[in-house]
Amino acid sequence: MVLGIDIGGTNTKFGLVNTKGEIVYQSSLPTTDFAAPADLLKRIHQLIQELEPELNGVGIGAPNANFARGTIEYAPNLSWTGIIPVTKIASEIFNVPSRITNDANAAAVGEKLFGAAKNMDDFIVITLGTGVGAGIFANGQLITGKNGFAGELGHVTVIPDGRMHHSTGLKGSLESYASATGIVETVNEFLKMTDKTSILRELKTKPLTTKLIFEAANNGDEIAKQTLDYTAEILGLALANFALFSAPEAIILFGGVTKGSDNFFEKVKSEMEKNLIIVFRDCIPVIKSELPESDAAILGAAALVWKNNT
Amino acid sequence: MVLGIDIGGTNTKFGLVNTKGEIVYQSSLPTTDFAAPADLLKRIHQLIQELEPELNGVGIGAPNANFARGTIEYAPNLSWTGIIPVTKIASEIFNVPSRITNDANAAAVGEKLFGAAKNMDDFIVITLGTGVGAGIFANGQLITGKNGFAGELGHVTVIPDGRMHHSTGLKGSLESYASATGIVETVNEFLKMTDKTSILRELKTKPLTTKLIFEAANNGDEIAKQTLDYTAEILGLALANFALFSAPEAIILFGGVTKGSDNFFEKVKSEMEKNLIIVFRDCIPVIKSELPESDAAILGAAALVWKNNT
């Protein structure tokens, strides 16, 4: 039995995975409730202990994780700062070997082993959540790069001198527009720019979520529709740039934002096509992850323990 | 003996390479003099025949080449249109097996076998010439992608709704700013915007070249300096985006434009650094190709015949 943990900016999902790749137990905790990763891991340990599993290892997916060093380093979307030796901490708490990789890499490994990419050698998984990340396979292998941080595609610049990212300080990065946080920021900008009536204006007293924005768009709200069109333009353009880099067989979108609306999804695809040269057009499908969101990340993280080379 | 041919937008370089990887003869022809690739290859055949070499194969590097299909397809920087079965034509003319790949991929293979990337598993070669191309290695292997066209990085969008590319129709692509043609276009834009004196204004009657622009900048010409700073900003930003994708050990710049001035080169590097997140800063050197320009491309193209899998 292996414990797979997917640490996200908002929630941490974890599950016990057997050797057949089945998740036999899973649960989640709010990441933001824990002041340090050790606290989070101790709590998971408590919960798992009650099940008395025969644990062989712990695999962790997390933003800005470095596989080679076993660390999370300066993660813009976590409140934990600096360089954190996570595998060392996890091995001490669980008393088994532990491995860590980028949460998006874990999702990509999950897609390759159990999901939409089972028969693909070249594909890109884009995770759209609190942050934006990517896991990239080329020639059948996960790309980690020299520094172990390949696929940090949330931080590519799409709008030079564009919106400031609250924690990286970079301007106009994909994440500052296409993450859940970025989409909410766009709504607030658009609401300020006009007097148009919008259900989102009335909801402004409680925190906006992408779920509420997608609902509003599906109900015909103009500001919500404008926001999603704008987001789709930027995301589509970024996907075209990624496609030109590694010429994937498909791009797989993963995470809550992808479930919002079919209109949004179609718009992302058409915007990608608009930004491609002829030989790339109409041959790179953009698809939604086939796996339940939590499953791919947990399975991918767990797979780290079985496959030492990812 | 293998014949390596590097077809560029302006010139085609070719050379005979022995099994030690030495170029024993080389020459070049203006690509634009030939209405069809068959004419160009027949002329090369004529010239080579005089040397009576024992030819085992022909390796070709060309823009928009597809390794799997042996074709050049819709190349924006060549006057030859549509899909051209180049390896078929070359095999008939030379009566030996022929292989083709993207010119930038050939340069990358050249760098890996004989140049700056000899000991690297992860690197990106950016070719700056009439067009802008890229050859990418990850996990020690050339990335060609599902459609065989990976690394078309000249066509990524860096300035949304920016300058129209004369042949792709895309707006704001890297190539429309950082190619030789793009740099000349920037000079002309800047000259129109002001009345400032500039040696480039006086030279305007004859066609401007990047060589003249770099010379003018080195002599303190303001318009030339402004042009190169602007180019460096855009190229540096694009390199940061590429670095975030594959986390290379180094980025190798290849082609005439890289030789212009040390100021330009330093500015490209500092602009790249400005657009990176912390974990990518100060660890990805941008270096100039160590190989004579023609050599890497010819050697890389020739290597196609020896290494069937690139």
At A293 the pLDDT is: 66
Contact A145 B278 (CB under 8 A): no
Average pLDDT, chain B: 91
* Strand ranges across the sheet with B286-288: B141-142, B132-138, B123-128, B250-254, B286-288
At B12 the pLDDT is: 94
- From residue B110, give the alpha-carbon distance in Å to each of A59, B48, B54, B90, B295: 39, 22, 22, 21, 8
| Global ipTM | 0.91
Q: Does any CB of chain A come closer than 8 Å to the CB of residue B23? A: no
Residue of higher predicted confidence among B227 and A130: B227
Residues 215-254 of chain B whose Cβ lies under 8 A from any Cβ of chain A? 237, 240-242, 244-249
At A14 the pLDDT is: 96
At A306 the pLDDT is: 75
At B294 the pLDDT is: 66
pTM of the model: 0.91
At A310 the pLDDT is: 38
Number of residues assigned to chain B = 310
SS (H, E, C) A83-94: EECHHHHHHHHH
Closest CA to A153 of A271, A73, A243: A243
Q: Does any CB of chain B come closer than 8 Å to the CB of residue A60? A: no
Looking at the predicted structure, is the pLDDT value of residue B205 above 80?
no
How do residues A186-219 score in pLDDT, each as one tens digit? 999 999 999 998 999 887 567 888 999 999 999 9
Contact predicate B147/B71, CB 8 Å: no
Indicate the pLDDT class of residue B43, thresholds 50, 70 and 90. very high
Q: With contacts defined as CB-CB under 8 Å, which chain A residues touch B150?
A: 122, 138, 245-247
Longest dimension (CA), chain B: 60
At A309 the pLDDT is: 38
Closest CA to A306 of A84, A47, A106: A106
Q: With contacts defined as CB-CB under 8 Å, which chain B residues touch A239?
A: none
Contact B139 A141 (CB under 8 A): yes
Contact B277 A73 (CB under 8 A): no
- From residue B118, give the alpha-carbon distance in Å to each of A247, B145, B196: 25, 22, 47
Closest CA to B107 of B260, B282, B285, B256: B256
What is the C-alpha to C-alpha distance for residues A213 and A229, in angstroms, rounded to an integer? 12
What is the C-alpha to C-alpha distance for residues A14 and A217, in angstroms, rounded to an integer? 32
Contact A146 B170 (CB under 8 A): no
Write the residue in B120, B170, B244 that is nearest to A153 by C-beta: B244
- From residue B228, give the alpha-carbon distance in Å to each of B49, B171, B194, B212, B266: 43, 20, 17, 12, 11
Render each residue's pLDDT in chain A as its tens digit; 310 residues.
999 999 988 899 999 998 888 899 999 999 999 999 999 999 999 999 989 889 999 999 998 899 889 999 998 888 898 999 999 999 999 999 999 998 899 899 989 988 899 999 999 999 998 889 999 999 999 999 998 899 999 999 999 999 999 889 999 999 999 999 999 999 999 999 999 989 998 875 678 889 999 999 999 999 999 999 999 999 999 999 999 999 999 999 988 777 777 889 999 999 999 999 999 999 999 999 878 766 888 998 898 887 643 3
User: How close A132 comes to chain B (CA, Å)?
Assistant: 13
Concatenated DSSP letters of B112-133: HHHSTTTT-SSEEEEEESSSEE
Residue of higher predicted confidence among B248 and A310: B248
CB-count exposure of residue A109 (10 Å: 0-12, 13-18, 19+): buried
Residues 265-294 of chain A whose Cβ lies under 8 A from any Cβ of chain B? 275-280, 283-284
